[in-house]
Amino acid sequence: MSDSEGVDPQLQDFILTETQKQRFQVLVHGLTDTCWDTCMGKPLNRLDYRTEVCIMNCVERFIDATTFITKRLMNTTKYRSDSPLEFQ
């Protein structure tokens, strides 16, 4: 008898979806921290040009990463196998 026998498929889907959401949130927080640490020096009343450009580039990379991850999650969900989703 496998571990998945007798378990509600809707519950399994819910758990997988919530796990994916949690992993995505961890990624978002990590990227936010990275952009802040990379771009922000000493906070001032205004952003200087260099900091503004850095933040814009970081946000653009964030959008690129989000798009990639979203497509990957959709493909993983669509073509899900018995193995769990793993991010590296």
- Ordered by where they begin, the domains of the chain are 9-79 (1.10.287.810)
Residue 78 has pLDDT above 90, yes or no: no
Amino acid at 65: A
Q: Please give the backbone phi and psi of residue 2, each rounded to the nearest 5 degrees, phi first.
A: -85, 165
Residue 66 has pLDDT above 70, yes or no: yes
Residue 1 has pLDDT above 50, yes or no: no
Residue that has been written with the tokens 């193995």 in this structure:
83
Query: pLDDT digit string (tens) for 10-64?
Result: 998 999 999 989 988 887 788 788 888 889 887 788 888 998 899 889 988 888 9
Task: Please tell me the predicted confidence (pLDDT) of residue 40.
Answer: 86
Amino acid at 61: R
- Ranking 1-10, 19-28, 63-72 by mean pLDDT, the lowest is 1-10
Task: Please tell me the predicted confidence (pLDDT) of residue 26.
Answer: 87
Task: Please tell me the predicted confidence (pLDDT) of residue 19.
Answer: 92
Q: Please indicate, yes or no, whether the overall pTM of this predicted structure exceeds 0.85.
A: no
